[in-house]
Structure 1
Amino acid sequence: MNPLVLPLVLPGVYAPQEDTALLAGALSEEPLPPGADVLDVGTGSGALAIEAARRGTRVTAVDVSWRAVCTARMNAWMAGVPVRIRRGNLFAPVRDRSFDLILTNPPYVPAPTGSRPPRGPARAWDAGGDGRFVLDRICREAPTLLRPGGVLLMVHSALSDPGRTIEHLRGSGLKASVTRRHRIDFGPVLRGRREWLRERGLLSDADEKEELVVVRAELPV
């Protein structure tokens, strides 16, 4: 599986990787009528927002990083697709709106920094000791922004407990399941934390690959 390629990724902005490509594959299979309202939360380079916009949908993208906002705006302009891009913390800029589809590739890597907020580029991947610092917020808040029949597509690591994600989303009344899985070699971040992850019981001594999952959740009509 090859990651998506974009012409511009500013320093400090998360470049499209295997998780982006896995979520893009799920997006490609999602039936979306022209004019559907799509939200990409934590857009980074704008790769997923641009893929959605190419299908004739109305796309809003949000990121907390000004560099990411600038990168996504430039990439959307170069791709020739309209994407409304806003800076803000998760759903803050769109609380008064609702959507047919929400996409998100949030930070999900367990980090030994505990409850301290990550800084710099690590904001794109570090997510607290259990990897759920942002995931749990998305599970609480995303269902309130979905229209009846609307769908949430979210990618994260199996290290950050997909079962808990599904439990939270079902608790909010959504139909939720893992629809895609893909195993990849450890990247530099996980290689550097391998021993810490093993001490936490998140990796066994035999684990040399990370599993990525896509969770699909739908709000019943």
Structure 2
Amino acid sequence: MPTDVPIDPPRVLPEEIAALRADLAASSYTSATVEQLLGPVAASALGRENPVPAHRALAPLPDPAAVLLRLFTLGAVVARDQLETALPTLGVDGAERLGLVTPTDGSVRALVDLAPYSAQDDAGQIGWWIASDLSELATSRPLGPEHVLGVGGASLTLARITPRAPVRKVLDLGCGGGIQALHASRHAEHVVATDLSERALSFAAFNAALNDIKIELRQGSLLEPVTGESFDLIVSNPPFVITPRTPEDDSTTWTYRDGGRAGDTLLAELLHDLPGHLAQGGSAVMLGNWEITDPESWDAHPRTWLQDAGADGVDAWVLQREQEDPAQYAETWVRDGGIIDRDPQWAPLVGAWLDDLERREVARIGFGYLLLRRPDAADPGSAPAASGPAPRPGALRTEQVPATGSGALAPHLAAGLRAMSTLADLDDAALAAARPVRAEDVVERRHLTPGEWDPMLIELVQGAGFARSVRADQQLAATVGALDGTLTLGQVIGAVCALTDADEEETLSRVLPVVRELIITGMVTL
């Protein structure tokens, strides 16, 4: 277990930060420049955490961006005059005051990672700089328990599945270095970012100041800092990693992603309280892990966690992207902490994970997304009339989605949540009277034995979203193919039955539930 004392986080000094921002912009220290300087081979190797080609590519280059990349990302010691040239307005002294570098024998070395970040959203192109703790790639040491991560794969995934509709108030729960809060600032009037770690909040404050973005930072565990408040959007990459706990010692911090709870109970605790913080029409988007004791019921834990949300009228959607067995899971997170299999700590750490999971009879661990939405006042059944019935219970959907199609996921998921709410109060008669439309990305795929006319299998295949594939018979395929909004669904099914000599009542009972599924998954739209 790493025991290094962490270096102080960077400081927010307005004049120095303004100078740093100007220098980074002038040096073209951008993601595009970095890719160009590295070239495809070194960039690909760096993505695999192999820095050798990057060192070789950058060492002879005098470009300010190359100097900054060597210093802050690769952990190289650079000459003081090189950094003075790269940061002429801030200077090395200014960089030292900010806590970015420290002198060493006429040269300087980095105390933090400072990397360019680029993305695209509904508001246009993003070009930021994000500070975080130095990675094990730069330090050649395992990550400490207080490590503040940069923009990793999980951060990118969460940003990609978060809806970007304009809203009034957003909560970034467990903000780390603040990347989700920065994204939210582009479509929200006010952003609150919370974290238990004072160190993480310091990095978030620095990143917000460096990129001239205003967010409100609060320290505390889970939802404690926002007691009594509600939000239009809650986004969270919580410390969900399942880490070893023993009856003798349940306080050890095993990894910088450690939530300090046994098993997956942190998510259970969070999801018990989170629905109460969703405003009407508000949604929550989270990443998570869950323990699976029975592979036939992979969603048992998430379903249990979300029972109270359903009772509160909140719709929920759980999407499992992948599973790992206990050994794979242990290896993933031990290696993620910077410990390789040749390290003396490897065997005892992996063993501790396996012992912990075995005690709870965990067969697999699921990875995925958890989405919640409180129906809006305009949604069917969301609010009772003055003397009418209570609002409907929330709908709960669980789904395994191993593939990803083309296009953006966030609008696809947001539309699915809205469709769940709409369909919850739409009976079969109302659905048959609707005029749904087949999505443009849906195609029909037929499998035939060579020389035969009749297909062995018909599939409706989605190009966008999660590239879902749905088995269909002749009636379903013909019905979906004819959904262009001209006729009602009932009229289309009636026409198909007349052409195929199928029983209309039986076909309706069989096709309508599938059409509901196709509407939620975006293969058909209302």
TM-superposed CA distance for 1:122, in Å, is: 3.0
Counterpart mapping for 1:170-181 below 5 A: 170-173=307-310, 174-179=314-319, 181=321
- 1:87 and 1:59 map into 2 onto residues whose CA distance is 14
TM-superposed CA distance for 1:165, in Å, is: 2.7
Q: Radius of gyration: which is bigger?
A: 2
Query: How big is each residue's C-alpha offset from its partner over 1:180-201, in whole Å with a ceiling of 9 and x where there is no partner?
Result: 7267982415885555555525
Alignment of 1:72 with 2:204, yes or no, is yes
Amino acid of the residue matched to residue 117 of structure 1?
Answer: S
Alignment of 1:164 with 2:301, yes or no, is yes
Amino acid of the residue matched to residue 125 of structure 1?
Answer: D
- 1:141 and 1:66 map into 2 onto residues whose CA distance is 23
Select the residue among 156, 171, 175 that pairs with 1:43: 175
Amino acid of the residue matched to residue 215 of structure 1?
Answer: L
Select the residue among 93, 98, 105 that pairs with 2:225: 93
Alignment of 1:9 with 2:142, yes or no, is no
* Residue pair 2:178, 2:204 contacting (<8 A) in 1 also: yes
- 1:74 and 1:163 map into 2 onto residues whose CA distance is 41
Query: Do the aligned partners of residues 180 and 113 (structure 1) sit closer, same or farther apart at CA in structure 2, a change above 3 Å counting?
Result: closer
Q: Which residue of 2 aligns with 1:22?
A: 157
- 2:219 and 2:259 map into 1 onto residues whose CA distance is 19
* Residue pair 1:154, 1:215 contacting (<8 A) in 2 also: yes
Higher relative contact order (CA 8 A, sep 6+): 1
Sequence identity (%)? 23
Q: Which residue of 2 aligns with 1:220?
A: 375
TM-superposed CA distance for 1:47, in Å, is: 0.9
Q: Which residue of 2 aligns with 1:117?
A: 251
TM-score after normalising by structure 2: 0.36
- 1:162 and 1:45 map into 2 onto residues whose CA distance is 31
Alignment of 1:146 with 2:301, yes or no, is no
* Residue pair 2:131, 2:150 contacting (<8 A) in 1 also: no
TM-superposed CA distance for 1:9, in Å, is: 0.9
Query: Do the aligned partners of residues 57 and 77 (structure 1) sit closer, same or farther apart at CA in structure 2, a change above 3 Å counting?
Result: same
Q: Secondary structure at the residue paired with 1:171?
A: helix
Q: Which residue of 1 aligns with 2:192?
A: 60
Query: How big is each residue's C-alpha offset from its partner over 1:100-143, in whole Å with a ceiling of 9 and x where there is no partner?
Result: 11111111222222472344x835334434132x2122111111
Amino acid of the residue matched to residue 17 of structure 1?
Answer: G
* Residue pair 1:155, 1:214 contacting (<8 A) in 2 also: yes
TM-superposed CA distance for 1:97, in Å, is: 1.4
Q: Which residue of 2 aligns with 1:207?
A: none
Amino acid of the residue matched to residue 78 of structure 1?
Answer: L
Query: How big is each residue's C-alpha offset from its partner over 1:154-212, in whole Å with a ceiling of 9 and x where there is no partner?
Result: 101254776423432243222111247267982415885555555525457xxxxx863
Query: Do the aligned partners of residues 180 and 50 (structure 1) sit closer, same or farther apart at CA in structure 2, a change above 3 Å counting?
Result: farther
- 1:18 and 1:183 map into 2 onto residues whose CA distance is 17
* Larger displacement relative to structure 2 (152-161 or 187-196): 187-196
Query: Do the aligned partners of residues 63 and 122 (structure 1) sit closer, same or farther apart at CA in structure 2, a change above 3 Å counting?
Result: same
Query: Do the aligned partners of residues 22 and 213 (structure 1) sit closer, same or farther apart at CA in structure 2, a change above 3 Å counting?
Result: same
* Residue pair 2:281, 2:375 contacting (<8 A) in 1 also: yes
- 1:159 and 1:196 map into 2 onto residues whose CA distance is 16
Amino acid of the residue matched to residue 22 of structure 1?
Answer: T
Q: Secondary structure at the residue paired with 1:43?
A: coil
- 1:182 and 1:32 map into 2 onto residues whose CA distance is 28
* Larger displacement relative to structure 2 (157-166 or 59-68): 157-166
Q: Secondary structure at the residue paired with 1:81?
A: coil
Number of equivalent positions: 209
- 1:49 and 1:162 map into 2 onto residues whose CA distance is 29
Q: Secondary structure at the residue paired with 1:68?
A: helix
Query: Do the aligned partners of residues 32 and 14 (structure 1) sit closer, same or farther apart at CA in structure 2, a change above 3 Å counting?
Result: same
Q: Secondary structure at the residue paired with 2:272?
A: helix
TM-score after normalising by structure 1: 0.79
Amino acid of the residue matched to residue 167 of structure 1?
Answer: T
* Residue pair 2:320, 2:366 contacting (<8 A) in 1 also: no
TM-superposed CA distance for 1:88, in Å, is: 1.2
Q: Structure 2: 5+ residue runs without aligned partners? A: 1-46, 48-115, 118-128, 134-145, 293-297, 377-526
* Residue pair 1:32, 1:57 contacting (<8 A) in 2 also: no
* Residue pair 2:284, 2:372 contacting (<8 A) in 1 also: yes
Q: Which residue of 1 aligns with 2:125?
A: none
- 2:280 and 2:252 map into 1 onto residues whose CA distance is 35
Query: How big is each residue's C-alpha offset from its partner over 1:45-104, in whole Å with a ceiling of 9 and x where there is no partner?
Result: 101111111224421000111111110011111122211111111212211311011111
- 2:202 and 2:187 map into 1 onto residues whose CA distance is 22
Amino acid of the residue matched to residue 77 of structure 1?
Answer: A
* Residue pair 2:272, 2:308 contacting (<8 A) in 1 also: no
Q: Secondary structure at the residue paired with 1:110?
A: strand
Q: Structure 1: 5+ residue runs without aligned partners? A: 205-209
Q: Which residue of 1 aligns with 2:106?
A: none
* Residue pair 1:66, 1:87 contacting (<8 A) in 2 also: yes
Query: Do the aligned partners of residues 126 and 97 (structure 1) sit closer, same or farther apart at CA in structure 2, a change above 3 Å counting?
Result: closer
TM-superposed CA distance for 1:15, in Å, is: 3.1
